Amino acid sequence: MKKNNTLISKKQLLKENIEDFGDAHIGTSFDTPLKKDAFVLSDDEKVEKIQTHFREIMDILGLDLTDDSLKGTPYRVAKMYVKEIFSGLHPNNKPRVAMFENKYNYTQMLVEKDINVQSTCEHHFLPIYGKAHVAYISNGNVIGLSKINRIVEYYCKRPQVQERLTIQIANELKKALDTEDVAVYIDAQHMCVQARGVKDVGSSTITSEYCGQFANNENLRKEFLTAIHARI
């Protein structure tokens, strides 16, 4: 009896630790944690496997999978996971970024604001949604404006924590533009806060990453913040 009670206590402690870790909104790495064999299976093979497992989840929940409204749900969820909301996990889906010479010698910061953020919390697999604001100062090259949006979208399409998402976008822009002078600011709401746990529908989470001149020049940082918060 004592052994069983000890086992129950350990399981309860593990459950509490898992809950606390998820609610603490902690990430473990700047890179998205992936297995070494993450891309051995094709997308279609992943869809087939996820479909099978999700059907089992629905069955355990007690849902009638013969119902016309539900019988296609396992496939729809699996396809959505692999080919839509988590498609940013696969490096083949990384956007190609074309660079152009800064022939007009524009030396001030360029700001792309109000970029749509639609991601998924990796702790509860619930939506994260909000806006990203990005700025950079050219180091001789410029990037097509739509490619900034594509970079944000690519890193959003994977299980995320907002801190990691912010850093990944900044690192990708620094690499593409060959400059340290990059700023990223994200203001987002988390359904894992709104729909469960504390159920706070009024709060949002702000994260930022300032690099190069944006980290070292307070006036430049203020100019960026003023620009993204301005409403015309």
Contacts of 25 (CB under 8 A, 6+ apart): 123, 161, 162, 163, 205
Instruction: Please tell me the predicted confidence (pLDDT) of residue 59.
Output: 98
Active-site annotation holds for 160: no
Q: Would the pTM count as exceeding 0.75? A: yes
Active-site annotation holds for 211: no
Active-site entry in 51, 112, 160, 162: 162
pLDDT tens for the chain, 232 residues long, are 555 666 556 556 556 665 665 566 566 678 999 999 999 999 999 999 999 999 999 999 999 999 999 999 999 999 999 999 999 999 999 999 888 998 888 999 999 999 999 999 999 999 999 999 999 999 998 999 999 999 999 999 999 999 999 999 999 999 999 999 999 999 999 999 999 999 999 999 999 999 999 999 999 999 999 999 998 6
Instruction: Please tell me the predicted confidence (pLDDT) of residue 117.
Output: 98
Instruction: Please tell me the predicted confidence (pLDDT) of residue 104.
Output: 87
Q: Cβ of 9: how many Cβ atoms within 10 Å?
A: 10
Instruction: Please tell me the predicted confidence (pLDDT) of residue 21.
Output: 58
Q: The CATH number of 95-229 is which of 3.30.1130.10, 3.40.50.2300, 3.10.129.10, 3.40.50.720?
A: 3.30.1130.10
Instruction: Please tell me the predicted confidence (pLDDT) of residue 174.
Output: 96
Over the Cα atoms of the chain, what is R_g?
Answer: 21
- The superfamily CATH assigns to domain 41-85 is GTP cyclohydrolase I, N-terminal domain (1.10.286.10)
CA 98 and chain centroid, separation: 23
Active-site annotation holds for 53: no
Active-site entry in 190, 209, 211, 213: 190
Domain residue ranges in the chain: 41-85, 95-229
Active-site annotation holds for 190: yes
Active-site annotation holds for 90: no
Active-site entry in 51, 90, 112, 123: 123
Which of 82, 172, 86 has the alpha carbon at shortest distance from 122?
86
